[in-house]
Structure 1
Amino acid sequence: MVSRSIVFPVIVMFLLVVLIVAFSGNVAQVKSISQINGADTAWMLTSSALVLVMTPGLAFFYGGMVNKKNVISTMLQSFICMVVITVLWVLVGFSLVFGDSVIGIFGNPKTYFLMHGVIEGAPWKMAPTIPFVLFAFYQLKFAIIAPALITGAFAERIRFKSYIVFIVLFSLFIYCPIAHATWHPDGILARFGVLDFAGGTVVHMSAGWAALASAIYLKSRNSMTHKPARITYVILGTGLLWFGWFGFNAGSAFGANNIAATALATTMTCSAAAAFAWIIFDAMRGRLPSAMGSCIGAVVGLVAITPAAGFVSIPHALAIGIVASIISNMMVEWRTRTSVDDTLDVFPCHGVGGIVGMLLTGVFANRNINSAVVDNGLLFGEKKLFFIQLIAMIAVSAFCFGASFILLKVTDLITPLRVTEGEELQGLDLSQHGESL
Structure 2
Amino acid sequence: MTTPVYSDPPFQRTVFIYGALSLAAVAMGLIWGAIFYAAGLWPILPGLSLVIAAGLIGLLVIQRKHLHQNRLLMLQLGYLALIVYFCLYIDIPTPSAPRISHQFLLVLGIAGYIDYIRQKSLAQVLILLACGISFVLFVALQNPLSVESPIPDEIRAIGIWFNAITVVLLIAICIYVLRREFVRDGQILRDLQIAMRRDQLTLAFQPQVNAKGRLIGAEVLMRWTHPTRGPISPAIFIALAEEGDLMPELGRWVLRKACETLAAWQIDPDLKQLDLAINVSARQFVQPDFVAQVSGIVRASGASPKRIKLELTESVALSSLELVKSRMQSLADLGIRFSLDDFGTGYSSLNYLRNLPVQEIKIDRSFTNEAREGSRSGSLIRSIIQIGHDLELVVLAEGVETHSQFEYLKGLGCQEFQGFYFGAALSHDEFTAKARLAARPDCIWPPTT
TM-score by length of 2: 0.25
Structure with greater helix share of residues: 1
RCO (CA 8 Å, sep 6+): is it higher in 1 or 2? 1
Give the TM-score taking structure 1 as reference length: 0.26
